[in-house]
Amino acid sequence: MQIEIVSVSPVETKKTGKNSYEFINVTYKDFNGKIQAKKIVDFTHKDVFNVLKEASSKDLFEVESEKVNGFWEWTGIEARRGEESTSEKGTSPAVATAKWVPDEQKQRYIVRQNSLTNAVNFIINNKVSEAPSDVLEVLFVAECFEEWVYRTHNEVKVPQKTIAKQQPTGDVE
């Protein structure tokens, strides 16, 4: 999760019998813009503690967290340099840059991209020229590949080449 530091308390030491530990209180803005606080101790994830004790207001970090014994612990941290803070942008960096896409749609995008690449290769390898003659030719072949991937049973639907200059003859070579 991405956070923006609001404030970090000075390092404090807590004695527990013969032992002691250090801790800091971190106030931060989460990716939804909500202000939250977290106590970070030096004995669980020393690297997270060491980074945050030097943090300043408006610093951005990507924090990895893990649920341990019912509590969320910050297990890793990475500074985000050169990005605008949440308050400067008026919106959360995670919300502004990430768009959720359903898995089925992601797969369709992957198949389409792959079909385009392979359509270009197919046209180049089956012609004398080194490049496709026009974009519509590439799109037609890519759509044929995509339809083949998403076919049901043994049915193959060949797309209509209505925009292209040449109409298919129906002859199969």
Between these two residues, 130 and 60, which has the higher pLDDT value? Answer: 60
The SS3 of residue 70 is: coil
Residue spans in the chain of domains classed CATH 2.40.50: 2-97
76-100: per-residue pLDDT in tens? 898 886 555 444 444 444 434 445 5
Crossing angle of helices 135-149 and 103-125, in 10° steps, is 130
First to last CA, the chain: 55
96-123: per-residue pLDDT in tens? 444 556 778 888 888 888 888 888 888 8
Per-residue pLDDT, averaged over 4-23, amounts to: 90
Q: How far is Cα 37 from Cα 27, in angstroms, rounded to an integer?
A: 4
Let me know: does 3 contact 37? Beta carbons within 8 Å: no
CA-wise closest residue to 65 among 102, 95, 16, 28? 28
Per-residue pLDDT, averaged over 13-36, amounts to: 89
The SS3 of residue 126 is: coil
List, in order, residues 6 or more apart from 15 with CB less than 8 Å away: none
Q: How far is Cα 8 from Cα 37, in angstroms, rounded to an integer?
A: 10
Enter the pTM of the model. 0.46
pLDDT class of 130 with cuts at 50, 70, 90: low
Let me know: does 41 contact 21? Beta carbons within 8 Å: yes
- Kindly state the percentage of the chain with pLDDT values over 90: 14
CATH of 2-97, one of 2.40.50, 1.10.3470, 3.30.530, 3.30.950: 2.40.50
